[in-house]
């Protein structure tokens, strides 16, 4: 017989049939929207490298959170632009800082919104690194792992006290999940979950974010603490450590160049897995769509579907509201 008997095309003939056999269903519930909190009032400063993304004062961040909620997006993650930066990043635990104030304002206006906070020092240090700098034995200036743990714990505690629903350490110091867990427990926040940026790579895809968060390192790079893009097994080791230390959810970041890592982490653990569709991934889609080189909406949905298909339960994405609206 010249013709095939199994014909997969039979199930592709109509949209109803295709929808019935679709394996991966994207939903607005999958998305977490990153927002950048700045001081002041009525401020919406566009981020030039990220069309559609703004640095927002507290009143504006509440409006944005409300928009996300109306579109069916259940959660936001907050990043801070402080008024003042210093070597330690002390604004990171300022209870009057833009993140702490935004948490309280969002929880007040949209109580169901799950407010997550990014916990890291790079937005608050004047040198732009994710922790405190020290001179090592061999004379190199590097980020001190153990001195940074205490600073991160202060920041996480500040967010917890302001009413955050979850904290997400993104610094990549060794032992930080356990240290933050211990501090939160000691202060009575035993029920506050930690989503760890468990496998976070030293990626060039963070470029536009560093404009948005004003957090580029003044000198050097983050390769001494973030992961080498060439490593996969190491990601699994990082995830296991964070789980041992008490991480409730684990994240892979970036997403698109690391879909294999998402799949392997998904196979390793039964806790929820998140993936961060980072700034550079967003900006590439926006730039190509603006030039009319690709259909922006379709590419966006295809990207997000691939991340979910790879195994992510949750996707942190600047596309969150747009994608939720496109899904209807
Ligand atoms: C903080 C942090 C970064 C991102 C999230 N948290 C930047 C970095 O590590 O340099 C990147 C997010 C993005 O690119 O969208 N350390």
Residue 13 lies in a domain: no
Measured CA to CA in angstroms, residue 41 lies from 57, 58, 61 at distances of 5, 7, 10
Instruction: Name the pLDDT band for 255 (thresholds 50, 70, 90).
Output: very high
Identify the residue whose C-alpha is closest to ligand 1 atom 8. Answer: 206
Q: Which atom of ligand 1 is nearest to the CA of 278?
A: 15
Please give the tally of structural domains in the chain. 1
Q: Is residue 214 part of a domain?
A: yes
In a domain, 16, yes or no: no
* pLDDT above 90 for 3: no
24-44 tens-digit pLDDT? 999 999 999 999 999 999 999
Please state, as a whole number, how many other Cβ atoms lie within 10 Å of the Cβ of residue 165: 18
How close is the Cα of 35 to the center of ligand 1, in Å?
Answer: 12
- Measure the N-to-C terminal CA separation of the chain; round to a whole number of Å: 45
- Using CA atoms, how far apart are residues 141 and 228, in angstroms rounded to an integer? 20
Within-domain flag for 65: yes
Distance in Å, CA 27 to ligand 1 centroid: 24
Q: Report how far ligand 1's centroid is from the alpha carbon of 60 (Å).
A: 22
Residue 2 lies in a domain: no
DSSP 130: S
Q: Whose CA is nearest to atom 10 of ligand 1?
A: 206
Q: And the tokens for 230?
A: 């060439």
User: In this structure, what token pair is assigned to residue 286?
Assistant: 């926006």
pLDDT confidence of residue 2: 79
- Give pTM, 2 decimals: 0.97
Per residue in 108-155, pLDDT (tens digit) is 999 999 999 999 999 999 999 999 999 999 999 999 999 999 999 999
Using the 8-state DSSP alphabet, how is residue 257 labeled? G
Q: Which residues are catalytic?
A: 200, 253
Q: Which domain, by its residues, includes 43?
A: 24-327
Protein residue closest via CA to atom 7 of ligand 1: 206
* Secondary structure percentages of the chain, helix, strand, coil, to 5: 45, 20, 40
Distance CA 268, CA 307 (A): 17
pLDDT band at 4 (very low <50, low <70, confident <90, very high): confident
Residues having CB closer than 6 A to ligand 1 are 118, 120, 122, 130, 170, 206, 209-210, 222, 278-279
CA 209 to ligand 1 center in whole angstroms: 6
Half-sphere exposure of 33 (CA within 13 A, CB side): 31
State which of 213, 216, 252 you would mutate to test the pocket of ligand 1, scoring each by most atoms of that ligand within 8 A of its C-beta. Answer: 213
Q: What is the pLDDT of residues 47-94, one digit of tens each?
A: 999 999 999 999 999 999 999 999 999 999 999 999 999 999 999 999
pLDDT for residue 179 is more than 70: yes
Give 173 Cα–ligand 1 centroid separation in angstroms: 14
Which residue has 């973030």 as its token pair? Answer: 226
**Atom 11 (ligand 1): residue with closest C-alpha?**
206
Cis peptide bond upstream of 322, omega within 30: no
Report yes or no on 17 lying in a domain. Answer: no
pLDDT tens-digit series, residues 184-205: 999 999 999 999 999 999 999 9
Hey, what's the torsion of the CAs at 192, 105, 210, 300, to 10 degrees?
Answer: 80
Cα–Cα distance, 171 to 169 (Å, whole number) = 6
Among residues of the chain, what percentage have pLDDT more than 70? 100
Q: Tokens 């039964």 belong to which residue?
A: 270
Q: Whose CA is nearest to atom 14 of ligand 1?
A: 206
Protein residue closest via CA to atom 5 of ligand 1: 170
Confidence of residue 328 (pLDDT cuts 50, 70, 90): confident
- 291: exposed, middle or buried (C-beta count within 10 Å: 0-12, 13-18, 19+)? exposed
| Separation between Cα atoms, residue 91 and residue 121, nearest integer Å | 9
Of 74, 126, 36, nearest to 314 by C-alpha is 74
How many A from CA of 264 to the centre of ligand 1?
A: 22
Pair 154, 92: CB distance under 8 Å: yes
Residue 97: which CATH number?
Answer: 3.20.20.70
* C-alpha to C-alpha distance for 135 and 139, rounded to whole angstroms: 6
| pLDDT score of 206 | 97
| DSSP reduced 3-state for 32 | strand
The tens digit of pLDDT for each residue in 206-251 reads: 999 998 998 999 999 999 999 999 999 999 999 999 999 999 999 9
Beta bridge partners of 45: 55
By most ligand atoms within 8 Å of CB, the mutation choice from 209, 216, 223, 254 for ligand 1 is 209
Structural domain includes residue 3: no
Cβ atoms within 10 Å, residue 260: 12
SS3 of 93, please? helix
Q: Quick one: tokens of 33?
A: 């929207």
Beta strands in 9-137 (DSSP E): 31-38, 44-46, 54-57, 75-80, 114-119, 133-135
Residue 9 lies in a domain: no
Beta-bridge partner residues of 200: 253
Q: Can you read off the two tokens belonging to residue 79? A: 């990043």
CB contact at 8 A, 195 and 223? no
């Amino acid at each position: 017989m010249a013709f095939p008997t199994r014909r997969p095309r039979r199930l592709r003939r109509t949209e109803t049939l295709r929808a019935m056999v679709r394996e991966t269903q994207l939903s607005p519930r999958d998305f977490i929207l990153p927002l950048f909190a700045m001081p002041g009032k009525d401020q919406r400063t566009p981020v030039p490298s990220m069309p559609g993304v703004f640095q927002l004062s507290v009143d504006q961040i509440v409006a944005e959170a409300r928009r996300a909620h109306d579109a069916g997006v259940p959660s936001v993650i907050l990043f801070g632009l402080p008024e003042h930066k210093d070597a330690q990043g002390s604004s990171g635990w300022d209870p009057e800082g833009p993140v702490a104030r935004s948490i309280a304002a969002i929880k007040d206006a949209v109580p169901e919104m799950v407010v997550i906070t990014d916990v890291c020092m790079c937005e608050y240090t004047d040198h732009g690194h994710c922790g405190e700098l020290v001179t090592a034995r061999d004379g190199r200036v590097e980020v001190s792992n153990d001195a940074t743990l205490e600073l991160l714990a202060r920041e996480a505690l500040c967010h917890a006290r302001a009413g955050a629903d979850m904290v997400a350490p993104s610094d990549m110091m060794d032992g930080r999940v356990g240290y933050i867990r211990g501090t939160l427990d000691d202060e009575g926040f035993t029920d506050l979950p930690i989503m760890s940026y468990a496998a976070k790579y030293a990626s060039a895809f963070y470029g536009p974010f560093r404009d948005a968060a004003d957090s580029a390192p003044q000198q050097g790079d983050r390769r001494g603490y973030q992961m080498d893009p060439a490593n996969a097994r190491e990601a699994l080791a990082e995830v296991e450590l964070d789980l041992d230390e008490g991480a409730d959810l684990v994240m892979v970041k970036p997403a698109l160049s690391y879909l294999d890592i998402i799949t392997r982490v998904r196979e390793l653990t039964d806790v929820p897995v998140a993936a961060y569709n980072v700034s550079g991934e967003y900006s590439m889609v926006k730039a190509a769509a603006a030039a009319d080189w690709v259909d922006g909406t379709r590419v966006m949905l295809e990207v997000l579907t691939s991340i979910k298909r790879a195994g992510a339960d949750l996707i942190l994405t600047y596309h969150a509201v747009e994608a939720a609206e496109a899904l209807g």
